[in-house]
Amino acid sequence: MRIEIWADVVCPWAYIGKRRLEKALAAPRAAGAGAEVVWRPYRIDPTAPDAAVPFEEARRDPAADAALRQCAPGLSPDENRARVSRAAADEGLGPRFGAAWRAGSHDAHRLLHLALGHGGPALQNEVAEQVMRAHFVDGDDIGDRRRLGAVAARSGFPEGAALLETGAGDHEVRELLLIGRARGIATSPTIVAGDRALAGAQPPEVIADFVAAGEPARPLPDEVRRLRWAESLLDQRDPLGALTLLRPLLDQHAADLNVRRAAARAYYHSAQLNRARAVLERLVDEAPDDAYARLMLGRALQRLGREDLAAPHLRTAAAMSPAFA
């Protein structure tokens, strides 16, 4: 069974959670699950500067303070640091534990993704270990690609340094961040097994029970899963993110009505009204009984200043479905 860890490598609970997951997978009740662990990206501090700043200086930045609060909702940063220190000591992390730099983690996530592609979960897991050790124990700046290259070499992934310089993995990591949001990932770390999720760095016994009770995810065609993720982002009012996930579907399944409906919604809600109009006019021609498509077309035409063209579609949509009146 595949276990996904959606986590940010600059969140201390991700490192603590890694240790707890390792203990859990060694427990008898989880050992038979045959778990394969894969790391997925999450960002607790997307506003971190490109050039890292000393952590003590960063603590005065309200954005950094907000990011720290994401790691431990309900706790102040000082309370969280004390709790983290105790938990890290309990897991044998140290002797010194704590970030010295406020560093962006995007390149580190790229490195993890590239490691998975080049050497599978085992190599990726070792890179994750070394990246977090560098950040939390060695006090290194993991936002610096040269430092990441050294981490990659220590991890048995010497190709990683050159790959980072090419921009490899950038698109894939950004897309995975969108997929995580679409799937409702809102905490670092979140462990996903099958169709179930466990948020936070839970105790090993809780994780072991979670893994033991897990079942493989329900099989779905990739295009169906991607469409559902795009629709989730639309529901979360992220139409541009939805369009990113829809792009391969528009290339490969442009005739599918559900794909085009989702694209029309995304165009409309991102104010790409002429594109929305073009898609919706074709939808209405092909499915004249689609009340929602008529409603959207009427609203798009209204926003384009074409009340004369909008009115018939809005009247028809209201006649078909009173909720649209």
What the chain holds in terms of domains, given with CATH numbers, is 2-212 (3.40.30.10), 222-324 (1.25.40.10)
Helices and strands (DSSP H and E) totals, the chain: 16, 6
**Of 5, 155, 11, 2, nearest in space to 73 by CA:** 11
The kind and range of the H/E element at 119 are helix 106-136
Q: pLDDT band for position 30 (50/70/90)?
A: confident
CB under 8 Å to 68, separation ≥6 — which residues? 44, 77, 80
The kind and range of the H/E element at 162 are helix 160-166
Is residue 41 within 8 Å of 6, Cβ to Cβ? Answer: yes
Q: What is the pLDDT of residues 66-119, one digit of tens each?
A: 666 666 666 777 777 788 999 999 999 988 899 999 999 999 999 999 999 999
Q: What is the pLDDT of residues 33-48, one digit of tens each?
A: 678 999 999 999 888 8
